[in-house]
Amino acid sequence: DAKTTQPPSMDCAEGRAANLPCNHSTISGNEYVYWYRQIHSQGPQYIIHGLKNNETNEMASLIITEDRKSSTLILPHATLRDTAVYYCIVPSTSPQETSGSRLTFGEGTQLTVNP
């Protein structure tokens, strides 16, 4: 998997936008960027993914830079329930590996939404 770098922690005020950055400078042209989050003691939750274009769904927006070396996950109106560890993952699609969905989770970013 392409290595990703995220800040270990971030704070955000409730109701404000939370912008979580991720660097993935070694990403290959056909590799997607995925975002998951894990609320304490629960299973990880899929948020969004993208390849080149910006993406938006009911949970968040994903902004990928033109050179694809970094991305930002945006939670437009953060709530207390958005407090979680957020993981940015770039699964490998190397032809040397068996095709599959292996996810390599790093340390992620602990987002704390404050009242």
Partner 1 sequence: KAGVTQTPRYLIKTRGQQVTLSCSPISGHRSVSWYQQTPGQGLQFLFEYFSETQRNKGNFPGRFSGRQFSNSRSEMNVSTLELGDSALYLCASSLSLAREQYFGPGTRLTVT
Pick the binder of partner 1 from 59, 61, 72, 105 (CB under 8 A): 105
Q: Is 53 in the site for partner 1 (CB under 8 A)?
A: no
φ and ψ at residue 51, rounded to 5 degrees: -110, -60
CB within 8 Å of 58: residues ≥ 6 apart? none
Which tokens is 107 given? 């340390």
Q: Provide, rounded to whole angstroms, the least separation between the CB of residue 21 and partner 1.
A: 20
Q: Is 93 in the site for partner 1 (CB under 8 A)?
A: yes
Pick the binder of partner 1 from 5, 79, 104, 114 (CB under 8 A): 104
Helices and strands (H, E) in the chain, number of each type = 0, 9
Q: Provide, rounded to whole angstroms, the least separation between the CB of residue 38 and partner 1.
A: 8
